[in-house]
Amino acid sequence: MARRREILHEVKALIQREEYRAAEAALAPLTDLAETDLLVAYRFAQAQLGAENTGEARRAWERVRRLDEDRLYRAQIATAERRLEQMGGGASESVSI
């Protein structure tokens, strides 16, 4: 758990500096947790969107939506949907509600 916390702290800093590819690489040890851990999924989605990996970003934000039962990240999800539309796809490819 301490390692997870360290990695997420590092990833948050990388994302704030817009170093998205480095954030992706730093998240690698936590990839398996992204299916069940909301914060890991959220950071992964941020990194994918920032790196403009459209397909991966869509899947990652869908995962965040599924895990976010309390809707903590609803504003961030909406922003990601708009950005993904702008990146190429249109509404038919936006993250489903």
- What is the mean predicted confidence (pLDDT) over 48-72? 96
| 15-48 per-residue burial string, b: 16 or more CB within 10 A, e: under 16 | beeebbebbbebbeebeebbeebbbbbbbbbbbb
What does the pLDDT average to over 41-66?
97
Q: Looking at the predicted structure, is the pLDDT value of residue 81 above 50?
A: yes
The predicted structure's pLDDT at residue 51? 96
For residue 97, what pLDDT is reported? 30
Percent of the chain predicted with pLDDT > 70: 91
For residue 5, the model assigns a pLDDT of 97
Beta-carbon contacts of 95 under 8 Å, excluding residues fewer than 6 positions away, are: 58, 61, 62, 65, 77, 80, 81, 84
Q: How far apart are CA 29 and CA 41, in angstroms?
A: 13
CA distance 72 to 91: 23
pLDDT tens digit string along 6-33?
Answer: 999 999 999 999 999 999 999 999 999 9
Name the domain count of the chain. 1
- CATH value at residue 13: 1.25.40
Q: Which of 44, 49, 45, 50 is nearest to 26 (CA)?
A: 44
Determine if the pTM surpasses 0.85: yes
pLDDT at 88: 78
Domain containing residue 88: 2-93
